């Protein structure tokens, strides 16, 4: 195991454990108007990361926000992965009209910058968790489809696939038993690095007020709340920003380390 893989795995583990045990770790969830905009202090009772404009403990909100930030990112990742994997397999294996339709959709979506397209979708569908997951999934499945399509077109020409076809194995059997296992490694590596972009997009949409809506706690929402206090209470911006950097760095390190590890095994 290389250093990047170990470091990324450790950082991701910290994030997941924080999200899972958030109710036990962060006990302060209500605001105290008399303690609003208090700076960070080296005391858990006073607030290690200070309080926000409503007197709420920033550390507690940060810990609870990890649940939504990680949860929404994973859901969007799995939806886009499933969609791209299925369409990429079908396009690469069957070719012809199926391939033309899928690649036409890919080219149309690639004509728009990803964030602009996500903004347009959320603006039409309305702000909310469902809309943000749908928007990110529509933007992100393209990469998976292109990757899987190319891999499938290569694998289907190999001798073991031809032998399976001659022996009477169904198309579904060939796709699931012979082609899918051979395209999974690149897809897993791509997923581990692509989730960083998904995290940034979700935080960006929430920051713009088009994603997660208050009173739900998410790091992008926290950044949005802190916009008016950048000079007077900078800790409100620093805490969620640092958390996003930590999470994105962790997944990037894990993805790069995983790619290297799989490459070394080959």
Strand partners, 51: 57
* Statement: residue 29 has pLDDT above 90: no
Instruction: Average the pLDDT over 105-126 and give the result.
Output: 87
The residues, any chain, with a CB within 8 Å of residue 249's CB and separated by 6 or more, are 11
Instruction: Convert the pLDDT of each residue in 197-213 to its tens digit.
Output: 888 888 888 888 887 88
Three-class secondary structure of residue 51 per DSSP: strand
pLDDT recorded at residue 150:
92
pLDDT recorded at residue 94:
92
**Sign of torsion over alpha carbons 246, 248, 251, 254:** negative
What are the structural domains of the chain?
3-15+66-265 (1.10.3720.10)
How far is C-alpha 192 from the geometric centre of its chain's CA atoms? 9
Strand partners, 57: 51
* Statement: residue 45 has pLDDT above 60: no
Q: Whose CA is closest to 147, among 85, 83, 80? A: 85
* Most confident among 22-26, 50-54, 234-238, 258-262 (mean pLDDT): 234-238
* Statement: residue 27 has pLDDT above 90: no
Burial of residue 253 (CB within 10 Å: 0-12, 13-18, 19+) is buried
Instruction: Average the pLDDT over 53-69 and give the result.
Output: 87
**Sign of torsion over alpha carbons 113, 117, 123, 128:** negative
In the structure, what pLDDT confidence band is assigned to residue 30 with cuts at 50, 70 and 90?
low
Mean of pLDDT over the chain? 87
> What share of the chain has pLDDT > 70, as a percent?
94
Prediction pTM value: 0.86
pLDDT recorded at residue 213:
80
* Statement: residue 257 has pLDDT above 60: yes
41, 60 Cβ separation under 8 angstroms? no
């Amino acid at each position: 195991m290389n250093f990047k893989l170990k470091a990324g795995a450790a950082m991701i583990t910290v994030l997941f454990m924080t999200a899972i045990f958030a109710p036990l770790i962060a006990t302060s969830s209500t605001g105290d108007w008399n303690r609003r905009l208090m700076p960070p202090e080296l005391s858990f009772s006073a607030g290690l990361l200070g309080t926000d404009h409503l007197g709420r403990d920033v550390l507690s909100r940060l810990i609870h926000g990890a649940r939504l930030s990680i949860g929404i990112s994973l859901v969007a990742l799995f939806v886009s992965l499933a969609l791209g994997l299925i369409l990429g397999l079908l396009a690469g294996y069957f070719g012809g009209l199926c391939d033309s339709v899928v690649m036409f959709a890919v080219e149309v979506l690639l004509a728009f910058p990803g964030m602009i397209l996500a903004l347009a979708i959320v603006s039409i569908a309305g702000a909310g968790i469902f809309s943000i997951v749908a928007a990110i999934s529509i933007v992100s499945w393209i990469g998976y489809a292109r990757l899987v399509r190319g891999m499938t077109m290569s694998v289907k020409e190999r001798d073991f696939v031809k032998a399976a076809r001659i022996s009477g194995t169904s198309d579904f059997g060939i796709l699931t038993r012979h082609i899918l296992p051979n395209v999974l490694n690149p897809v897993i590596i791509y997923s581990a690095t692509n989730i960083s972009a998904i995290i940034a997009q979700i935080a960006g949409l929430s920051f713009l007020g088009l994603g997660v809506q208050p009173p739900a706690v998410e790091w992008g929402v926290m950044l949005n709340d802190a916009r008016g206090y950048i000079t007077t209470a900078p800790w409100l911006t620093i805490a969620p920003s640092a958390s996003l950097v930590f999470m994105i760095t962790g997944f990037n390190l894990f993805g790069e380390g995983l790619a290297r590890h799989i490459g070394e095994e080959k």
